[in-house]
Amino acid sequence: MSLKRAALAGLALIPGLLTAQAQPNQTNSTTTPLGRALMAERNGAYGDAATQYATILKTQPANVGALLGMEHVLPRLDRRAELVPLIEAALAADSTSIGVFGVAVRAFVVAGFPDSARKYAERWSARAPNDDEPYREWLEAATQVRDLAQARVALDLGRQRLGPGALAIERAGLLQSAGDIAGAALEWVAVVKATPPFREGAVGQLAQVTPIQRGQVRDVLQRDASPEAHQMLGLLLARWGEPAEALAMVRSALPSAPEAATTLLRALLEELRLRFDKPSRLATAATLEAIAQREAGMATAGTMMEAARAYADAGDERNARRVLALVSASPGAPAGMGTAASTTMLQVLIAEGKAAEAERALAALGNQLDPDEHDRLARRIAMAWVRGGEFSRAAELIVHDSSTEGFDLRGRLRLYRGDLAGANDLLKQAGPYDEAREQALERVTLLTLIQAIGQDSVPALGDALSALERGDSTRAIRGLATLAGTLKASGAAETRLLAARIALAIHDTAGSLALLHAADAKDAPAAAAAARLAMARISIAGGRAADARGELEQLIIDFPGSALVPEARRLRDSIRGTVPGGG
Amino acid sequence: MRRREFVRTGALAGAGLFLPRRHWITGAPRAASVLVPMDDAQDEHLKAYGLAFRSLDRGDRGEWLLNYRNGSFLLPATDALQRDATLAGVSLERVDDGTVATIRGEIQASNMDAIPLEKLPKVAVYAPPDAAPWDDAVTMALNYAGIQFQRVWDPEVIAGGLEKFDWLHLHHEDFTGQYSKFVITSAGAPWLQAMMQLHQGTAARLGFANVADLKRAVAQRIAAFVERGGFLFAMCTATETLDLALASDGVDIAAAYADGTPMDPQASSKMHWEKALAFRDAQLELSPSLSSFSDIDGHQVNTTERQPLGAFSLFNFSAKIDPVATMLVQNHRQVIPDFYGLTTSFRRTRLKNDDVVLADETGAPWVKYIHGERGKGTWTFFGGHDPEDPQHAIGNAPTDLSLHPHSPGYRLILNNVLFPAAKKKELKT
């Protein structure tokens, strides 16, 4: 709704609102005919509303409130044809009312009379020669009925009357709707040059083009040498998932004034905010650092801290350390910043695998940390010990951790030592839920494996799983395959299934298939169903849809009660092409 | 047999006067049966129709138990059926002869009926060769349910190819030949250019002066198909534009971009509504750029007069007296959320007097789902584009029916597909 239309609608509502204030216990419709008509309209009694509006218009044909009411209710009553004579009567009674002109322009567009719409837009413009509203109203109405040709006429006439810079936003939008993406991009640049605060809005509009059209936008903005175009392109690239290119483009077009530069960098930060991939985190960190360089006092230290965390989250320990050093040296760092810096440094140490150093740093932080944060960091250090084969050190660190994650990790530690009974108890205590769904699924998988094996102590399983934790997948697969040969049917099948999954993760398809075939055992139905589903997925990935379909059908027929059957059916439907996203 | 006779004999048989001695009616003791429940006990409502269809394809016979547990199927228990149901995830209930007898007793005493299913209908879907399977709700439903069909288009229809089929589906085709009136609003869009090239090339190849002429000829052949006893099911714009094309014989209702001449401004008053299947007295939309054809549609989705979506309710019919209408409304939900299409609904004031309203929106000036007869055949019109994509717009992600296995809207579509499989019960002489 345009401002003028909103203002007119507001005028029409005023009688009702005043009544409501004066008589709070009564409906606000009873004091004036217009108020009553409005109330009927609000209550959905369109027929009554139309009758009441018509009564008003009989004595006051140019009453804008009543005319607007008719514009709303007549279409709902399938009587839109009645609007045109009412407008003609209104214009005869008052040929100068801007409100009447507005209704007339819209109504004639909808009724398919573009010449009349034009006539009244021009009359309106003659009354307000410097106002672009008549043409905007006409253009918006034509756009609403998707008559882009008529909208174009409105635009061209408006610019002819008001100058080439008029209605620039509308022109850009119109070009984009008509598929002229390059023209739209150019026009949006012109809009931003004229009114810089429109930059984010323009970027939002251009971001809506299809992936195929993005190339056209990029070409236009790159060819345009203005900083505005490059700033827009930088923000667009961030939104389109190209964070490194986005950062480089924004850096190349940063305004020299610190405030304007910070505004642009914060806009980039906003675009990157919801992206969690490594390149986006790195771009976020660099953007924060650039913002910090343009800030002063405590704000600088705070933003630098954020940058350090972002570097650490992205796994860029070198830059995280560098920025932390800058924070430590910053004279403006507020109290408490030291703890934040130490925590971030601790995360860097963990990421670097320096468990002993990290443990010392954690001890040094002592009571300064929130207990939950302390436990979280302790678990991360414990995992670093596990990766180094130091299970006892790991266990000592988390011995008092009673959180779900603590039980989970203690259970895993038991498992790595081959203590299946102890692992079973602790993993069960951790329960089937977790904040991270993946972690919960892994836990359920481990519990299934432990229960299928059915023994209290299997050191070979601990060896294989700890090898996996250290990243030695080959040793893990070999260990699990060897172990499977010593176990009873269901334990053997689950163990082979796990080995097959690890093999698949390292792209050893042949090895994985061999293990899956071995896991497909009649007396281990749960593992067999999972093995067939995995084989079907491998067949699909290899382009053997018919094989996959056979495997899935055999799964469904042989194990109709398996929890994997719905997934198998879904996959079968994809192969048959009966649901989208086949394969 | 004319549909009218079918209705009559079906009703008589349902009343127990002419029960044929068939094992699927009497419940032969040697053959166990399975009940395919269609109430909330069913895990895969949509695939259940495919199961019944494929059972017929294998030469089995079954029954459609109208209004019994929301339109369940009684099928012979065979290994093939069991395997098929397991693969599709369709719920079955094994029933012995005693249970079947109890079911029949309940059907006899209630507003229910048992309709034999014995003829595998030959199904055709009218769609251009480049149409994506995801752009047509019926194609999606048939594929998902596993019901075989053939695709036909203008060349096959003009060459008399509809003779081979029992059932024909039309979706969002524009039989006024105006490319759904997107020519001005979407000028330059590649999909529109491709569509225009395909249609214009086809019209030229088939010897028509323009696409509007070709589409009118196609519409007339479709109407003749119905006259001869065919079953027609149409959705979305195909409903409205088919009738506009039929009624506009000799009247120019197409914009200049379609046939080279502007639409006759007096077209509305020159229409021959007696030639239309369902509608009458509509006012045609004169603007070539407004994506609306007439005031038949109550919702006018692409205009400023767009009406909000509500919900539509299915009517209850007497199963024994009016089994056809009853078949078409079998469902486990009686109130269904509405969904837009280029033609979403049908204004009551534009319906012919003998149209049967199957579903409407209470209190609204429009209806959603209608049915009628023409000659020896029947037609059924269902407004809207995709029951599970209420706001459907060009470029929307395709609907994945595996996420909507209980869709009541799609069930209505599949009722129509199975409806021609129901055959009259033979009279004892």
A chain contacts of residue B302, beta-carbon cutoff 8 Å: 146
Chain A within 8 Å of B178 (Cβ-Cβ)?
A: no
What CATH number is attached to the domain comprising B70?
A: 3.30.70.790
Mean pLDDT for the stretch of residues A417-432: 91
> What's the CA gap between B412 and B381, in Å, rounded?
11
Three-state secondary-structure class, residue B335: strand
Name which of A83, A146, A147, A567 to mutate to probe chain B: the one with the most chain B Cβ atoms within 10 A of its Cβ: A146
pLDDT at B398: 78
Residue B312: what are its φ and ψ, rounded to 5°?
-115, 150
pLDDT at A1: 35
Do B51 and B181 sit in the same domain of this protein? no
Q: Answer for the pair A533, A552: CB distance below 8 angstroms, yes or no.
A: yes
Do B165 and B100 sit in the same domain of this protein? no
Amino acid symbol at A517? H
Query: Is the Cβ pair B189, A179 closer than 8 Å?
Result: yes
Name the domain count of chain B.
2
> What's the CA gap between A432 and B327, in Å, rounded?
47
Do B107 and B210 sit in the same domain of this protein? no
Is B427 part of any domain?
A: no
Query: Is the Cβ pair A148, B304 closer than 8 Å?
Result: no
> Who's near A51: CB < 8 A, 6+ residues apart?
none
Among A105, A143, A520, smallest CA distance to B304 is for A143
Do B81 and B177 sit in the same domain of this protein? no
Of B75, B93, B117, the position where a domain reaches its end is B117
> Is the pLDDT confidence value at A118 over 70?
yes
Structure confidence by residue, pLDDT tens digits, A208-266: 887 778 899 999 999 998 999 999 999 999 999 899 999 999 999 999 999 999 999 99
Q: Chain B closest CA to A360's CA: distance in Å? A: 52
Tokens of B112: 């229910």
Q: Answer for the pair A235, A200: CB distance below 8 angstroms, yes or no.
A: yes
Chain B within 8 Å of A145 (Cβ-Cβ)?
A: yes
Do B262 and B388 sit in the same domain of this protein? yes
The half-sphere exposure of B415 on its side-chain side, counting CA atoms within 13 A, is: 30
CA B387 from chain centre, in angstroms, equals: 13
Mean pLDDT for the stretch of residues A406-424: 93
Structure confidence by residue, pLDDT tens digits, A362-371: 888 777 778 8
Chain A within 8 Å of B294 (Cβ-Cβ)?
A: no
Is B429 part of any domain?
A: no
pLDDT at B416: 93
Long-range contacts of A474-483 (CB under 8 A, 24+ apart): A474/A506, A476/A502, A477/A502, A477/A503, A477/A508, A477/A511, A477/A515, A481/A515, A483/A458
> What's the CA gap between A254 and B107, in Å, rounded?
79
pLDDT at B122: 93
The half-sphere exposure of B224 on its side-chain side, counting CA atoms within 13 A, is: 12
Three-state secondary-structure class, residue B358: strand
pLDDT at A27: 36
> What's the CA gap between B344 and B363, in Å, rounded?
16
pLDDT at A331: 66
**Looking at the predicted complex, does its ipTM rise above 0.90?**
no
Of B117, B139, B155, the position where a domain reaches its end is B117
Q: At what angle do helices A33-42 and A64-76 cross, to 10 degrees?
A: 30
> What's the CA gap between B243 and B276, in Å, rounded?
5
What is the DSSP annotation of B115-158? EEE-----EEEE--TT--GGG-HHHHHHHHHT---EEE-HHHHH
Q: Chain A closest CA to B86's CA: distance in Å? A: 7
Do B294 and B353 sit in the same domain of this protein? yes
Do B267 and B291 sit in the same domain of this protein? yes
> What's the CA gap between B137 and B203, in Å, rounded?
26
> What's the CA gap between A408 and A427, in Å, rounded?
5
Q: Answer for the pair B126, B153: CB distance below 8 angstroms, yes or no.
A: yes
Q: Chain A closest CA to B1's CA: distance in Å? A: 35
Which range marks the domain in which residue B7 is found?
3-117
Do B103 and B133 sit in the same domain of this protein? no
Do B189 and B253 sit in the same domain of this protein? yes
Do B305 and B395 sit in the same domain of this protein? yes
Do B57 and B130 sit in the same domain of this protein? no
Do B110 and B129 sit in the same domain of this protein? no
Based on the number of CB atoms within 10 Å of its own CB, is B357 exposed (0-12), middle (13-18) or buried (19 or more)?
middle
Mark which residues 91-110 of A lie under 8 Å from B by CB. 110
> What's the CA gap between A536 and A532, in Å, rounded?
6
b vs e for B123-140, b when ≥16 Cβ sit within 10 Å of the residue's Cβ? Answer: bbbbbeeebebbbbbbbb
Which residue ranges in chain B fall short of pLDDT 50? Answer: 1-31, 424-429
Structure confidence by residue, pLDDT tens digits, A561-572: 999 999 999 999
> Is the pLDDT confidence value at A388 over 70?
yes
Of B83, B102, B117, the position where a domain reaches its end is B117
Is B263 part of any domain?
A: yes
What CATH number is attached to the domain comprising B387?
A: 3.40.50.880
DSSP state of A212: G
A chain contacts of residue B134, beta-carbon cutoff 8 Å: 580
Residue A337 confidence class, pLDDT cut points 50, 70, 90 = low
Tell me whether strands B33-36 and B123-126 are parallel, antiparallel or unpaired: unpaired
Mean pLDDT for the stretch of residues A497-521: 95
pLDDT at A416: 93
Is B342 part of any domain?
A: yes
* Residue A53 vs residues A26, A90, A95, B294: alpha-carbon distances, Å: 21, 13, 20, 27
Chain A within 8 Å of B402 (Cβ-Cβ)?
A: yes
Q: At what angle do helices A98-110 and A83-93 cross, to 10 degrees?
A: 150
pLDDT at B31: 44
* Residue A13 vs residues A9, A20, A29, A33, A59: alpha-carbon distances, Å: 6, 11, 10, 12, 20
Q: Please name the member of A75, A112, A565 whose beta carbon is closest to the beta carbon of B286.
A: A112
pLDDT at A250: 96
Among B317, B293, B314, smallest CA distance to B387 is for B314
